[in-house]
Amino acid sequence: MHFNGQHFMVLGLAKSGVGAIQLLRSKGAKVTGVDSRNISDLPIVQNLVDNSEILFSRDREADLKGVDTLVISPGVPLSHSLTQAAMRRGIPVVGEIELASEFLTGPILAITGSNGKTTTTSLVGHILKSAGVPSQVGGNIGFAATDMIATSNFLQWNVLELSSFQLETIHRFHPQIAAVLNVTPNHLDRHGSIEEYAKAKGNIFRNQRSGDWAVLNASNAISNGYTTNAQIARFCGESAQVSANGIELFGKPLMPVSEVPLPGGHNLENVMAAATLASLAGASHESIAAAVTTFKGVKHRLEFIREVRGIKFYNDSKATSVDATLKALEALPGPLWVILGGLDKGGSYLPLAPQLKQKAKAALLIGSAASIIEKELKDHTHIDICGTLETAIHSAVNQAQPGDTVLLAPACASYDQFKSYEHRGDVFRQLVEAI
């Protein structure tokens, strides 16, 4: 890919888009930034325009004339009119991850999956750091991949969490170790079908070679079914599994299950996945086991906030899919007051019915998806239409008894009422701390 003197258009100017702009400018490219928002709402972009470093256009008025390559941010679907126009004209369309991979030095360890990828990626980074294996972590969490280039080197792993949105536009991206943790229905509003969603996830293996490693989940049919040129290691299978003696890793004892600090069976899978990946990256069994016991989890993922009058509050705002919410319900004992809702993503909520019927005193519904959820679950649990997160918390506090748990696990995206799932989780924490 050539950069100096080439005209790049960057569509979507959040963190990834701004990172792409700064990288392209450093390589001598001409850049036009494009967004649906006004430039007055984009202070960093405004500053770049004021200093004559880039051009700016609203997406409705953007002109592809003279553009050599279109770079799209993860939040921009391939169905966007500008993306479709570029494809019709034969203009290459690449994502920020693809762009960053042109300049990242050192090996890449890439992780994707419908659920558990943030916990697993963070745990891999924690293990490698504890084991003295040089690494840096970013991608879909923390630093954008473009921001990792300056600190990358040939002796250090680039550990990347990747979403299906980022993997849609893979061309030459090549991870030496890659994992698909699981694939369950998610983002069907964007991908259209589970088959297209799984195909996007599978792009992570697209450019792997015989000396690379692909890590699959033997207990998930879609993950286990991927084909690849790489060597295969399966967790929940022959490479990592739970036996009567605890967790085994590549045929040797790793640690007792009782020493895993994270709750829920799904977190055992995350630990087995992270242990497999870290081992392939050079960490010893001893260092892996020691690091797992000191891992405190990640924010917004089954995060214990506090206990008030015997009522426990957990923040799982990152449960933006039905399957993620189901795992949260399975991990916690009842009785539960479950806050569900937000922006609907196109899947069914019925898989939640058995756990809600068994454990929940009520489902407290918020956001634009509330009526959809009510229609599907009203025959399986008590429904309380609350509208807002604040109302849901007040409703739970006024009705809950000592020993109950209030769980935010929305099964929906956050963008109808919040800027992100992190914002939603932060507001939940603030409201709970104010009780």
Judge whether 11 and 61 are in contact, CB under 8 Å.
no
- Say what the pLDDT of residue 328 is: 94
CA quadruple 219, 220, 221, 226: dihedral, nearest 10:
-110
Summary mean pLDDT of the chain: 94
Kindly list the structural domains of the chain, giving each domain's residue range(s) and its CATH number in brackets, ordered by start: 7-94 (3.40.50.720), 104-293 (3.40.1190.10), 303-433 (3.90.190.20)
- pTM beyond 0.85, yes or no: no
Alpha carbon 1 to chain centroid distance? 28
Residue 334's pLDDT band (cuts 50, 70, 90): confident
pLDDT of residue 347: 85
Q: How many beta carbons lie within 10 A of that of residue 250, not counting itself?
A: 14
User: What is the rounded distance in angstroms from the CA atom of residue 9 to the CA atom of residue 182?
Assistant: 34
Q: For residue 213, name the pLDDT band (cuts at 50, 70, 90).
A: very high
pLDDT digits (tens, 9 = 90+) for 370-387: 999 999 999 999 999 999
CA 240 to chain centre: 23
Q: Which of 392, 345, 389 has the alpha carbon at shortest distance from 369?
A: 345
pLDDT in tens, 114-138: 989 999 999 999 999 999 999 999 9
CA distance 132 to 270: 21
Mean pLDDT value of segment 79-99: 94
Euclidean distance between CA atoms 189 and 196, whole angstroms: 11
Question: From CA 67, how far away is CA 6, in angstroms rounded?
Answer: 8
pLDDT at 330: 92
What is residue 119's predicted lDDT score, i.e. its pLDDT? 93
Q: What pLDDT, on the 0 to 100 scale, is given for residue 64?
A: 95
Residue type at position 146: T
Q: Name the token pair of 421.
A: 């799932």
**Percentage of residues of the chain with pLDDT beyond 90:** 86
pLDDT at 418: 96
Judge whether 67 and 91 are in contact, CB under 8 Å: yes
In this structure, what DSSP letter does residue 413 have? B
How far apart, in whole angstroms, are the C-alpha atoms of residue 340 and residue 324? 12
Helices 265-280, 322-331: inter-axial angle, 10-degree rounding: 110
The sign of the torsion formed by the CA atoms of 259, 264, 265, 268 equals negative
Residue 429 φ then ψ, to 5°: -60, -45
Q: With H, G, I as helix, E, B as strand and everything else as coil, classify residue 95.
A: strand
Q: What is the pLDDT of residues 224-273, one digit of tens each?
A: 999 999 999 999 999 999 998 899 999 999 999 999 998 888 899 999 99
Each residue's pLDDT tens digit, 274-298:
999 999 999 999 999 999 999 988 8
Mean local confidence (pLDDT), 196-212: 96
pLDDT tens by residue, 293-327? 999 888 898 999 999 999 999 999 999 999 899 99
Q: Are 48 and 35 in contact (CB under 8 A)?
A: no
Q: Is the pLDDT of residue 74 over 90?
A: no
